[in-house]
């Protein structure tokens, strides 16, 4: 059975990633990339679905673990009655075939170790053919093949590869697992390299990368770990950032809200871009920007909310019935049907990214080159055409209902957040045009300031409608959608995108309503799942409310970080700091965050680790540390003066 999520750590090579348990078992690994099928899928079932255990034979060891400094090299130390041994896990930054390397290192005494390797390709459905080769084994099944090399004699037993061996103080015993397409030649040791040399090289890579980070002094360790996690969740060849390396980890244990997060969401774009730029990672920010521009190319009415790591568009959703799911949480889903939804907000996020790409990135790139940082300047070619195509489409569809930011699988509605992001799309286009006029940049259809006026008028129209139809007249706060009396955590975005200034009474009332209605044990729910829009109680997904809390999911960590950002902008700094510290306390022992927090059972839920949670940590740390110079204030600065602020 899989461990609690907080008992897992992440290793990766910026093309895929593995989850390693405190017990020494790798329970999740997809090869050769994040969204490939898993060869270890015990996370969503049990050991019969694939895992790689490497631990002391005695089952009563005391376990401590850590990353080796600011790296993605994991060290798990087992202390037994006979001595102490460490298992060092890492994935070398890929220069050819992907590999997982595990080094057993004797620290004291003499410890009897054992390994239990169960390769199961295609999410546990294929038991490969295994045969001995010089220095290890070769496993082949379908299109997948794996070679495992070690000095330890490996034995086949009951469709499992096992071994037992002693490790004394000073011993170092490496294991190397390498994946390759089954129709190609078997990689030799020279194709992978010496495991101990790769260990040193991998540590140096991550330390050198992390040393470049510009982070707040007060939360430097947490911020650097979040940046390393984001780097690990970045698909190196394209720059795309996956939401998480996992699929179908439930939002509620035993429930059906289990989604595949191994893709790149457009709405993550601007937040991630600002987090990377704020930390000084110009190259990574530019790569993410380039990925997004390639992915969305084409007809604007075909814009998707998410894409694959290489820009793939077909993310067809299916279920895997042979996997029982994490702690019985079925179904297990592969692919994501939400990619076919109409979500208006992604146009705003994309135009916001384009504004950053045309006004901020070029200046940052110049500075980077001046100080000797390697960066390839983004070409503005196509940015203006892309922006125009997208905003022209927004002009025709902004009045339509959509599925909203939370990808609700129900009727389309006029979600307030969606309408605000339509306003963001037009507002950012106006600012792009203003920048072009000021800099003398030639843009088709832009001959004078008069050409900007129709877009300003559309901004005013959208803004006026939201302020008219998106308000609860009794409480004076914004609502989840037109006609609803419920609030939604996405409303915390209104001040962050500059729709209204933080001291506007409607913003103040909205934050207070969210604190009243959605705050549970200090953490923010996305929305109430136990009440209908008119406040009528209902049961969601057939589950029941517990202690007055809504069924269906835990508290969403990202929205709680948004609350921190709002509190900073409202000047409630003590409240903001208190909530931020509570969020930091949720990290596991190696600094990782999941998507949500189960406030009843006090445990992580949702896909893990979640990129957006770590982006939220980075941005909130910057907001708390720099206030008016923080990411949220900078994102809204200059846009609030365009918004209507009449009471």
Residue 421 pLDDT:
96
Residue 266 pLDDT:
83
The whole-angstrom separation of Cα 71 and Cα 67 is: 6
Q: Give the mean pLDDT of 614-627.
A: 93
Residue 493: count of CB within 10 angstroms of its CB = 23
Q: Give the mean pLDDT of 273-289.
A: 86
- The Cα angle at residue 223 between residues 275 and 345, in degrees rounded to 5: 30
Model confidence at 631, pLDDT cuts 50, 70, 90, reads: low
Residue 542: count of CB within 10 angstroms of its CB = 9
Q: Give the mean pLDDT of 508-536.
A: 82
Beta bridge partners of 165: 113
Q: Phi, psi at residue 166, to the nearest 5°? A: -100, 145
Residue 195 pLDDT:
96
Residue 518 pLDDT:
94
Residue 624 pLDDT:
95
The whole-angstrom separation of Cα 340 and Cα 202 is: 39
Residue 120 pLDDT:
98
Residue 575 pLDDT:
96
Which of 14-28, 347-361, 390-404, 435-449 has the largest mean confidence?
14-28
Q: Give the mean pLDDT of 461-470.
A: 98
| Under 8 Å between Cβ of 73 and 208 | no
* pLDDT tens digits, one per residue of 544-587: 333 344 455 789 999 999 999 999 999 999 999 999 999 999 99
- The Cα angle at residue 331 between residues 326 and 332, in degrees rounded to 5: 65
Locate the DSSP E strands across 200-271. 234-235, 240-241, 264-265
Best CA proximity match to 123, nearest among 100, 142, 98: 142
Q: Give the mean pLDDT of 125-134.
A: 95
Q: Give the mean pLDDT of 80-86.
A: 97
Residue 95: count of CB within 10 angstroms of its CB = 10
The whole-angstrom separation of Cα 133 and Cα 463 is: 68
Residue 354 pLDDT:
86
Q: Give the mean pLDDT of 367-389.
A: 57
Instruction: Report, in angstroms and rounded to the nearest whole number, the Rg of the chain calculated over CA atoms.
Output: 25
Q: Which two tokens stand for residue 249?
A: 């980890």
Residue of higher predicted confidence among 119 and 637? 119
Half-sphere exposure of 489 (CA within 13 A, CB side): 23
The whole-angstrom separation of Cα 381 and Cα 379 is: 5
Report the chain's terminal Cα–Cα distance, integer Å.
57
The whole-angstrom separation of Cα 84 and Cα 61 is: 9
Q: Phi, psi at residue 133, to the nearest 5°? A: -135, 170
Model confidence at 318, pLDDT cuts 50, 70, 90, reads: very high
Residue 341 pLDDT:
78
Residue 442 pLDDT:
87
Least confident of 60-69, 311-320, 438-447: 438-447
Tell me: cis bond preceding 500? Omega within 30 of 0 counts. no
Give the residue carrying structure tokens 């040791």: 189
H or E stretch covering 566:
helix 557-569
Residue of higher predicted confidence among 359 and 40? 40
Residue 446 pLDDT:
87
Model confidence at 297, pLDDT cuts 50, 70, 90, reads: confident
Q: Which domains does the chain have, with CATH numbers?
A: 5-190 (2.70.98.10), 218-642 (1.50.10.10)
Residue 529 pLDDT:
66
* pLDDT tens digits, one per residue of 199-258: 999 999 999 999 999 999 999 999 999 999 999 999 999 999 999 999 999 998 998 889
Model confidence at 375, pLDDT cuts 50, 70, 90, reads: very low
Query: Mean pLDDT, the chain, as a whole number?
Result: 89
Q: Using a CB cutoff of 8 Å and minimum separation of 24, what contacts does 440-448 make?
A: 441/380, 441/384, 443/384, 443/388, 444/384, 444/385, 444/388, 445/388
Best CA proximity match to 139, nearest among 127, 150, 154, 128: 128
Residue 439 pLDDT:
87
* pLDDT tens digits, one per residue of 148-165: 999 999 999 999 999 999
Model confidence at 360, pLDDT cuts 50, 70, 90, reads: confident
Q: Give the mean pLDDT of 100-122.
A: 97
Model confidence at 373, pLDDT cuts 50, 70, 90, reads: very low
Angle, helix 345-359 to helix 268-278, in steps of 10 degrees = 30
Instruction: Give percent of the chain above pLDDT 70.
Output: 89
| Under 8 Å between Cβ of 187 and 201 | no
Residue 331 pLDDT:
95
Give the residue carrying structure tokens 């290793």: 11
Residue of higher predicted confidence among 146 and 352? 146
Query: Is the pTM here over 0.85, yes or no?
Result: yes
Query: Per-residue pLDDT for 506 more than 50?
Result: yes
Q: Which two tokens stand for residue 162?
A: 């096992």
């Amino acid at each position: 059975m899989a461990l609690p999520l907080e008992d897992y750590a992440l290793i990766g090579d910026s093309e895929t990633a593995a989850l390693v348990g405190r017990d020494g078992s790798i329970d999740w690994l997809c090869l050769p990339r994040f969204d490939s099928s898993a060869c270890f899928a015990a996370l969503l079932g049990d050991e019969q679905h694939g895992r790689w255990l490497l631990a002391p034979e005695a089952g009563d060891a005391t376990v401590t673990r850590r990353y080796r400094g600011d790296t993605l090299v994991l060290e798990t130390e087992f202390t037994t009655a006979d001595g102490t041994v460490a298992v060092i896990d890492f994935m070398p930054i890929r220069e050819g075939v992907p590999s997982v390397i595990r080094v057993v290192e004797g620290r004291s005494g003499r410890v009897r170790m054992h390994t239990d390797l169960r390769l199961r390709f295609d999410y546990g459905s294929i038991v490969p053919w295994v045969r001995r080769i010089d220095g290890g084994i070769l496993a082949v099944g379908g299109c997948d093949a794996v070679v495992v090399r070690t000095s330890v004699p490996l034995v086949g037993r009951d469709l499992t590869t096992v071994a037992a061996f002693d490790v004394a103080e000073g011993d170092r015993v490496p294991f190397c697992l390498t994946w390759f397409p089954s129709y190609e030649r078997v990689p030799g040791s020279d194709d992978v390299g010496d495991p101990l040399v790769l260990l040193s090289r991998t540590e140096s890579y991550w330390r050198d990368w992390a040393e470049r980070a510009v982070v707040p002094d007060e939360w430097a360790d947490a911020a650097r770990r979040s940046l390393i996690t984001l780097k690990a969740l970045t698909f190196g060849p394209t720059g795309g950032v996956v939401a998480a390396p996992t699929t179908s980890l439930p939002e509620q244990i035993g429930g059906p809200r289990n989604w595949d997060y191994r893709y790149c969401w457009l709405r993550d774009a601007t937040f991630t871009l600002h987090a990377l730029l704020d930390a000084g990672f110009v190259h990574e920010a530019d790569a993410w920007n380039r990925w997004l521009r390639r992915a969305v190319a084409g007809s604007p009415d075909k814009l998707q909310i998410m894409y694959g790591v290489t820009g793939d568009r077909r993310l067809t959703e299916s279920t895997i019935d042979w996997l029982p799911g994490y702690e019985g949480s079925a179904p297990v889903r592969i692919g994501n049907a939400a990619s076919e939804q109409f979500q208006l907000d992604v146009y705003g996020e994309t135009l916001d990214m384009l504004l950053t790409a045309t006004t901020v990135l070029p200046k940052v790139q110049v500075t980077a080159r001046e100080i000797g940082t390697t960066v390839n300047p983004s070409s503005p070619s196509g940015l203006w055409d892309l922006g125009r195509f997208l905003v022209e489409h927004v002009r025709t569809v902004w009045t339509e209902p959509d599925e909203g930011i939370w990808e609700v699988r129900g009727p389309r509605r006029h979600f307030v957040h969606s309408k605000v992001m339509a306003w963001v799309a037009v507002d950012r286009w106006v600012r792009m045009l203003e920048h072009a006029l000021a800099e003398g940049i030639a843009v088709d259809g832009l001959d004078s300031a008069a050409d900007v006026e129709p877009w300003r008028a559309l901004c005013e129209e959208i803004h006026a409608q939201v302020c008219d139809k998106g308000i609860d007249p009794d409480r004076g706060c914004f609502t989840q959608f037109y006609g609803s009396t419920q609030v939604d955590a996405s409303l915390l975005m209104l001040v962050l995108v500059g729709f209204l200034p933080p001291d506007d009474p409607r913003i103040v009332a909205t934050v207070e309503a969210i604190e009243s209605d959605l705050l549970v044990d200090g953490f923010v729910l996305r929305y109430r799942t136990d009440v209908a829009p008119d406040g009528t109680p209902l049961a969601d997904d057939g589950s029941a409310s517990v202690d007055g809390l809504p069924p269906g999911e835990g508290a969403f960590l990202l929205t709680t970080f948004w609350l921190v950002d709002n509190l900073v902008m409202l000047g409630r700094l003590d409240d903001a700091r208190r909530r931020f510290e509570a969020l930091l306390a949720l990290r596991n022992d190696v600094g990782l965050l999941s998507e949500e927090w189960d406030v009843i059972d006090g445990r992580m839920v949702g896909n893990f680790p979640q990129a957006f949670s770590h982006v939220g940590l980075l941005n909130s740390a910057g907001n708390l540390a720099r206030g008016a110079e923080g990411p949220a204030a900078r994102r809204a600065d200059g846009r609030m003066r365009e918004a209507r602020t009449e009471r």
